Structure 1
Amino acid sequence: MRTVEQISETMIKPSPAELQIAQQFLSEFRDARNIDGDMSMTCIYRSADFSDERLVYRVTTSHDTEYALKIDVAPAPNPRLSDEFKVLTRLVPHFEHRAEVDVVKPLYLSPSARFLVTEFVDHKTATHHIFNSKKDAQAGQMYRRAGHWLHELHDIDPPSKTRFWFDWMFEAIEEKLSAGLPMMPASDYRPMIEQMKRDVECIKQFKAFKRYCHGDFHGENLIMGRGTAFGLDFTEHRVKLGEYDIVDFLKGDVYRSGNPLDVDRSGILRSNKEMFFKRYKHRINMAILDYCIRARMLIDCLHITQNMYKADEFQRTKYRNLHNRLTLAFRTPIEG
């Protein structure tokens, strides 16, 4: 199975122009911090949606100090990286005295706001461990640690009550259906959509809680160090339903195999979900969470067109996993 992490390590080759820009940025950082000695760079990430603008390099000095150089060279003025730097600066003291959880330390923001530098944490991501752990207990620990980290993040500001808005999910589904011919047959997805419409009548009156959220809390954005989990990439941070951060992480469970009888109505293995909530203790509505998880998985599944399925083994694996979990999840209605 091909993971995002493996793609990063084997397929990213910056162009000469991209390397020149990165070298210029690195020189600015070196001068600003008075760093001497040689530095080497390796590109470890390229954005799929903004491939010409957003890259991350791993920087190593001759003193064996390592940094992450994060670049966004969008042509229009963009506060994205300066906002993230402010977020990290705020989060550092919040996490400072909390055991086993942390964020990457922000070190430098260019006056141009086209790049920032943080510490580099040389450990594998939660996604890597979840995808590759042969033992369920080892994978389960990733869910426990992720739940702990997210609990501490959601603790930074008081929550506020709000309505559960669901219209965007149906709009996203229709958008996927109109964008291309999905691999999933209509005979499979239409009954699921109709079930979603029936389910939402049972839960739409429920109140939920908005919290300060990571905004893109998938397993690639959580580094599992020895004893400490480090959060990174806060460019999508915002205040929204806390359930959405949980959805982002738990939906990665589709890449774990398990007994079909252990899959609950959300499409997630009960054992892994239980591990997540061993350390995540904020109040949530489980019916809303389960509804949102399987809605998100359906949207992701419909995103895979027949052409994507034919062209890429990773997309074929992703489709089979999502389709299997959705079939199991929609056996049970969500009744609150």
Structure 2
Amino acid sequence: MDIVWTMLAFADFDESLVRSCVDEFAEATGTNDEFFISCLYRSADFGNERMVFTLMRPSGTPLVLKLDTAENATRLIKEFRVLKELGPHFAKETRVSLAQPVYLSERGYFHVTGFLEGKTAKAKIYSGCDDLQAGQVYRRCGEWLNHLHAYKPPQSRKVHLNWMLEEIETLAQAGSTQASPATVSAYLEKLRQDMQALAESSCREVFSHGDFHGGNLILGRGTSHGLDFTEACTKLAVYDIVDMLKMDIFHPANHEDVGPDGIRRQSRDMFFRQYNREINSPLLTCCMRGRLLIDYVKISDEAFGRSSFLRKKSGLLETRLSLAFSQPLDG
């Protein structure tokens, strides 16, 4: 078996380690293919540990090798198990799918899956698509999540939202945020009032993706593919929805088109065209406000000064939060 490296400029890693992974996979599966290997992704926070590589070959479909070298890491063992468990649930569907598990390493520090063709939902939104195209992105996101949330029967659970207040207060008290203390304090008080109004509320608890942001759904030709199930767990259904809809801040919006959750009404409406499971609407609005405020306060002074992207994100969040909190919770 031959290995050809075609590395991206930013990819600095132990080539011998990746080579050993490919060798193990080839020996275990009996393949003699020549692989053209390139670095597809490297974690911004765990760059020395978490990376993803494409394995291209002259014949046969491409593959993806996902690597986590952290000591005693079990994330990929869990993810591989989840992919296999969910496989039958998605197998008969033509419009929604997920990465096909191929091989899990003996020590669990890497696995190989099928390669998914298409662009991520985030890439579509960030590229400056028009309103109609953005609507179709959210429709497909809702369709995929609707199927995942049907995997197991839901349970009704009382909501406990104080974790959002605690996280925002911790971030604000650290003193490194670029956000105005007075602005954060005012939004925190309004968020606290929202939570008091929802104190006795319940929500469906379902098997959830756990990290359902726009980079974890690939929109292929007619089929939407879910990936990255390392955070999959049972939790309130509303959190997966919030994780996906929050990227809407990057789509231009007239002020009158933004709802009390800080999201364009069209985006939310299109998401729920295909997501037809019961959701407490005021609770979703409250959680959306909380998520946007967390993201706003998380941007530090240092990062704000260093990154033009984060300066843009901060401005967009500031606008959406202002529009959201100027409206009643129930719209």
TM-score range, shorter chain: over 0.9
Structure 1 unaligned spans of 5+: 1-8
Q: What's the counterpart of residue 206 of structure 1?
A: 201
Pair 1:12-2:10 in alignment:
yes
Deviation for aligned residue 1:180: 3.6
CA gap of 1:282–1:117, structure 2 versus 1, over 3 A, is: same
The SS at the match of 1:326 is helix
TM-score normalised to structure 1 length: 0.94
Distance in 1 (CA, whole Å) between partners of 2:102 and 2:174 is 41
Amino acid at match of 2:265: R
Task: Using the TM superposition, name which of 132-141 and 147-156 deviates more.
Answer: 132-141
CA gap of 1:181–1:235, structure 2 versus 1, over 3 A, is: same
- Aligned counterpart in structure 1 of residue 275 of structure 2, from 277, 280, 283: 280
- Aligned counterpart in structure 2 of residue 220 of structure 1, from 207, 215, 222: 215
Aligned residues: 325
- Aligned counterpart in structure 2 of residue 29 of structure 1, from 21, 25, 30: 25
Distance in 2 (CA, whole Å) between partners of 1:134 and 1:210 is 33
The SS at the match of 2:274 is coil
CA gap of 1:186–1:317, structure 2 versus 1, over 3 A, is: same
Task: Using the TM superposition, name which of 294-303 and 178-187 deviates more.
Answer: 178-187
Amino acid at match of 1:251: K
Pair 1:43-2:52 in alignment:
no
The SS at the match of 1:86 is helix
Task: Using the TM superposition, name which of 172-181 and 263-272 deviates more.
Answer: 172-181
Structure 2 unaligned spans of 5+: 1-6
Q: Cα deviations across residues 118-138 of structure 1 (Å, max 9, x unaligned)?
A: 001121111111111432101
Amino acid at match of 2:27: D
Amino acid at match of 1:12: F
Deviation for aligned residue 1:198: 1.2
Amino acid at match of 1:63: S
Asked whether the equivalents of residues 100 and 227 of structure 1 are also in contact (C-alpha less than 8 Å), the reply is yes
Distance in 2 (CA, whole Å) between partners of 1:181 and 1:82 is 36
Aligned ranges for residues 266-305 of structure 1 at < 5 Å? 266-305=261-300
Deviation for aligned residue 1:218: 0.4
Distance in 2 (CA, whole Å) between partners of 1:162 and 1:134 is 38
Distance in 1 (CA, whole Å) between partners of 2:129 and 2:228 is 28
Deviation for aligned residue 1:142: 0.6
Distance in 2 (CA, whole Å) between partners of 1:283 and 1:95 is 21
CA gap of 1:255–1:27, structure 2 versus 1, over 3 A, is: same
CA gap of 1:66–1:183, structure 2 versus 1, over 3 A, is: same
Distance in 2 (CA, whole Å) between partners of 1:12 and 1:245 is 31
Runs of 4+ in 1 over 2 A off after TM superposition: 9-12, 178-181
Deviation for aligned residue 1:62: 2.5
Q: Cα deviations across residues 61-85 of structure 1 (Å, max 9, x unaligned)?
A: 122531110001112x222111111
Pair 1:104-2:102 in alignment:
no
Q: What's the counterpart of residue 187 of structure 1?
A: 182
Amino acid at match of 1:292: C
The SS at the match of 2:39 is strand
Cα root mean square deviation, aligned: 1.4
Q: What's the counterpart of residue 115 of structure 2?
A: 120
Q: Cα deviations across residues 281-323 of structure 1 (Å, max 9, x unaligned)?
A: 1111011111001101100000011111111111101101111
The SS at the match of 2:103 is strand
CA gap of 1:167–1:11, structure 2 versus 1, over 3 A, is: farther
CA gap of 1:11–1:184, structure 2 versus 1, over 3 A, is: farther
CA gap of 1:124–1:11, structure 2 versus 1, over 3 A, is: farther
Deviation for aligned residue 1:10: 6.3
Deviation for aligned residue 1:51: 1.6
Pair 1:326-2:321 in alignment:
yes
Deviation for aligned residue 1:188: 1.5
Distance in 2 (CA, whole Å) between partners of 1:306 and 1:194 is 23
Pair 1:143-2:138 in alignment:
yes
Distance in 1 (CA, whole Å) between partners of 2:63 and 2:32 is 14
Q: Cα deviations across residues 174-230 of structure 1 (Å, max 9, x unaligned)?
A: 221133421111222111111111111111111111100000000100000000000
Asked whether the equivalents of residues 199 and 335 of structure 1 are also in contact (C-alpha less than 8 Å), the reply is no
Aligned-pair identity in percent equals 38
Distance in 1 (CA, whole Å) between partners of 2:98 and 2:252 is 30
Task: Using the TM superposition, name which of 325-334 and 214-223 deviates more.
Answer: 325-334
Asked whether the equivalents of residues 8 and 39 of structure 2 are also in contact (C-alpha less than 8 Å), the reply is no
Q: What's the counterpart of residue 5 of structure 1?
A: none
